Amino acid sequence: MGRRGLSRLVIEDYLGQRVRLQGGEKAILVEVVPPGVDPQERLSELAALANTAGAVVLDVLVQRREKPDPATYIGKGKVLETLAKAREKNADTLIFGVELTPAQARNLEEFTGLKIIDRSQLILDIFALHAGTKEAALAVELAQLQYLLPRLRGWGHALSDPGGIVGTMGPGETRLEQGRRAIRRRIQALERELREAKRAREVRRARRRRLGPPEIVLVGYTNSGKSTLFNALTRGDALVANQLFATLDTKVRRAFLPTGQIALVTDTVGFIRDLPPQLIPAFHATLEEVREAALIVIVVDAASPAAFEHLRVVREVLFSEIFRPEDPRPPVVYALNKLDLLETSVAWSRAEQLLAEAQPGMLISAKTGENLDEFRKLLAQNLRQKTSAATVSGYH
Ligand SMILES: Nc1nc2c(ncn2[C@@H]2O[C@H](COP(=O)(O)OP(=O)(O)OP(=O)(O)O)[C@@H](O)[C@H]2O)c(=O)[nH]1
Ligand SMILES: [Mg+2]
């Protein structure tokens, strides 16, 4: 086997089997929350992520902990309890709601004999599953490899065996080093390809910006209803699914506003708290659209008990990461979505508090169409004129 062949196998083994979900895993969720934090929202988000990735969730365990155990993240007693639970339920995988260090993942795997997946890997796997365009697939592969690289030493002995295959390695070069080098080479190739894809996209966008109508960009937490609203506004056919990160590619379509104005509406990738940093480049297309918008619509699932937390995450990403403080910002309108799901008085009062905080905004249902005509008027009122949109785009 030639060097290339071996390298490819090494990468595929590590990407393909030990650290990734294939779908169909029988999993136990392990969530760790600081004392005083209600684990319920985190657990339901983790379960939704696990289901989206195709795992079957058999049970959940929660540990309250301020600081992680350096060796195993959860405490020793909890590791034993988790293992007993896994045996009882016949589980083969533990999915952690936190990011584990490479050493923690290795220790947990060696101790339990189970496949160990952390929250970052889970999100990476969902992105890999949902990447629909070549560019999204390249960006996700790059993120996977960057995540994998420091973890490569972590699994068993196979990769650190200096025996190797005669004739394929230089003196003293271990399989581990060879695997790492192969991954670095692939990372460089991916970065090159992505730079080219980005240039091509910029040319397309510049043309659209010059010639086209003003752009309304929909952003929001994953599963808030962005694609549903996109379809309602544009009569489009974006994928709507009760899954996290159903949309991984931006989509653009025309919408007609009540004033007779035409706007381009863009559907984007959803946000989530603690996004693995390796995935941020996969958001570049989204981020660029947002920077040049004539209007940003922040979509919030107003029926979710975590609505405030979601709004906080979205604002934080938008206003501390995407825009620098000195950047001019497009106007923002809030779409407080899933109005039709507000059933209890608790839910209503939360939605009203949300509305007070998210102005200009409106409670709508993208699904039933309730309040959408009014919402279109709100969009038209807040849409910035083309000339000032062009000024914003001159900033980078
Ligand atoms: N009841 C109700 N459900 C809604 C509404 N809007 C969206 N949904 C549902 O919420 C789920 C997520 O909707 P999407 O439009 O895919 O959400 P998204 O924000 O595009 O999600 P990602 O692309 O995964 O980030 C789907 O099951 C939708 O049918 C609404 O107004 N009311
Ligand atoms: Mg979507």
- 259, 247 contact by CB (below 8 A): no
Residue 231 has a pLDDT of 94
Q: Specify the DSSP class assigned to residue 161.
A: -
Which residue CA neighbors atom 7 of ligand 1 most closely? 225
Listed residue (313, 295, 298, 267) closest to 380, CA to CA: 295
Residue 235 has a pLDDT of 82
Ligand 1 centre to CA of 315 (Å) is 19
Handedness of CA 34, 38, 42, 47 (dihedral sign): positive
> Rg of the chain's alpha carbons, rounded to an integer?
23
- Within 8 A by CB and 6+ apart from 181, the residues are 7
Ligand 2 centre to CA of 84 (Å) is 38
Which residue CA neighbors atom 8 of ligand 1 most closely? 225
Cα diameter, the chain = 74
Residue 130 has a pLDDT of 83
Residue 10 has a pLDDT of 47
Ligand 1 centre to CA of 342 (Å) is 15
Residue where the block lists tokens 């992105």: 127
Which token pair is 47? 């379960």
- The amino acid at residue 95 is I
- 364, 375 contact by CB (below 8 A): yes
Q: Which residue blocks in 26-174 are alpha helix, DSSP H?
A: 39-52, 76-89, 102-112, 119-130, 134-148
Domain boundaries, the chain: 20-117, 212-393
Residue 273 has a pLDDT of 85
User: Which regions of the chain does DSSP assign to beta strands (E)?
Assistant: 26-33, 56-64, 93-96, 115-117, 215-220, 251-256, 262-267, 295-301, 332-337, 361-363
Q: Measuring from each residue's beta carbon to the nearest atom of ligand 1, which residues come in under 6 Å?
A: 220, 222-228, 240-247, 270, 337-338, 340-341, 365-367
Q: Find the ligand nearest to 219 CA.
A: 1
- Within 8 A by CB and 6+ apart from 307, the residues are 300, 301, 350, 351, 354
Q: Specify the DSSP class assigned to residue 72.
A: T
Alpha carbons 161 and 82: distance in angstroms, whole number:
31
Alpha carbons 177 and 186: distance in angstroms, whole number:
14
Residue whose CB lies within 8 A of the most ligand 1 atoms, among 123, 230, 240, for a mutation test: 240
Handedness of CA 263, 301, 357, 323 (dihedral sign): negative
Q: What is residue 274's three-state secondary structure?
A: coil
Q: How far apart are the first and last CA of the chain?
A: 48
Alpha carbons 335 and 301: distance in angstroms, whole number:
9
CA distances from residue 127 to 106, 147, 163, 223 in whole angstroms, order as listed: 23, 13, 36, 14
Element at 309 (helix H, strand E): helix 307-316
Residue whose CB lies within 8 A of the most ligand 1 atoms, among 49, 227, 273, 286, for a mutation test: 227
Do the domains spanning 20-117 and 212-393 agree at the CATH topology level? yes
The CATH classification of domain 212-393, taken from the options 3.60.110.10, 3.40.50.150, 2.60.40.10, 3.40.50.300: 3.40.50.300
Strands 251-256, 215-220: pairing kind: unpaired
Tell whether domain 20-117 is in CATH 3.40.50.880.
no
Total-model pTM: 0.83
Alpha carbons 63 and 72: distance in angstroms, whole number:
13
Residue where the block lists tokens 């007779």: 260
Which token pair is 377? 């008027």
CA distances from residue 142 to 129, 277, 339, 371, 381 in whole angstroms, order as listed: 14, 12, 39, 42, 41
Q: Which atom of ligand 1 is nearest to 247's Cα?
A: 23
Q: Find the ligand nearest to 228 CA.
A: 1
* DSSP for 178-194, written as a single string: HHHHHHHHHHHHHHHHH
Across the chain, which has 396 residues, the per-10-residue mean pLDDT values are: 42 52 88 90 94 95 92 95 96 95 91 93 88 84 88 52 45 70 91 89 76 89 95 82 72 87 89 82 74 93 95 90 83 97 95 96 97 96 62 37
